Homo-oligomer: A and B are copies of this chain.
Amino acid sequence: MEEALAEARRKYRNWGRWGAADALGTLNYIDDEKRAAAARLARTGRAFSLAVQLNSAGPRAGDRGLGNPVHTMLDSGLDAAAGTQGFPHGFGDADDVMFMPLRSGTHWDGLGHVYDNKQAWNGRYCADVTTGAGDQVTGAERQAAAFVSRGVLLDAGRALDAGRALGGELPGGFAITEDQLQKVIAAQGPSARIERGDIVLIRTGQLSFCRRLGGWEQYAAGPAPGLSFGALGWLHGSEIAAVATDTFAVEVRPHEFAPPCHLPLHQIAIPNIGLFLGEMFDLEALAADCAADGRYEFLLVAGGLPVTGGVGAPVNPVAVK
């Protein structure tokens, strides 16, 4: 495994590519022209939110002892109805607060989220990047306007399950390789051709599977379909701006190396390639629409909340076809 990591580092490392001060990584592949072209893909005006709802029954069931978002009211319509709020002239209100792990719903992993042998993106020493005060160099506030591009949906669940034996839901442990990605692209046709600067959304069907069966335990911690470590060459060479999936952690679980092994694709993708990984994207409605009209490209606007120093960015990604 160390050899595989070493080879991947050697081949895919983008350090210095966008200057020493860079805080955007592969988002640099997106430029004004790309954004303008992406906007032209929004032809019909149909819009889709790709975010899972944030609530205490959500998909982050206890990962590392953390829970789901907890949303509570400071006061509500019940208080207003009771007449105890003390406002004049018939005014009433409701207000609320939330506590959430930044990675407990649909989110982007920030560049400061994962390190490779104490090195963060661009070769920085991890302790110089992220301290108790958060990410000082590549925090979520620095990419707030950057996630606007052409989005392409690769519906691996549907395309790789041609006979529909699985109902379009890949099983846990299913590793999506570069070959399989190419197969999906070919099956979906020209609108699925990947270009520099695209944000690629890969649907495995696992979110649908867990939602249908009502159990999130497997989603957060069990076997999951996802990208193969071997797909890193494609992730790097295709010069995409970001990749997101409908799973908890993008990459296949169990991992493809012998234990102890922890998120090896993350370890190359984030600190070495500078690639943004999106997790827990809800691609169901968008995928149904794409399957219906055969068009897999769209405008994607997916900038996360600019939490200062955040190593994760909760996001409501919106696709417009």
Contacts and interface: CB of A to CB of B under 8 A. Distances in A.
Interface residues of A, number: 117
Interface in A21-41: 31-40
Contacts of A43: 36, 39
10 contacts: A54-B305, A61-B62, A71-B102, A72-B96, A73-B130, A78-B79, A78-B127, A80-B118, A94-B115, A96-B101
Contacts of A117: 90, 92
A69 interface: yes
Main secondary structure of the interface of A (DSSP, over half): mixed
A57 B65 contact: yes
Contact of A66 (B31, B34, B70): B70
B88 A47 contact: no
Nearest to A141: B53
Given A32-B44, A118-B92, A262-B91, A71 B307 contact: yes
A105 B102 CA distance: 16
A39 to B, nearest CB: 3
B33 A45 contact: yes
A130 B77 contact: yes
Interface in A101-123: 101-103, 105, 112-118, 120
Nearest to A67: B67
A165 interface: no
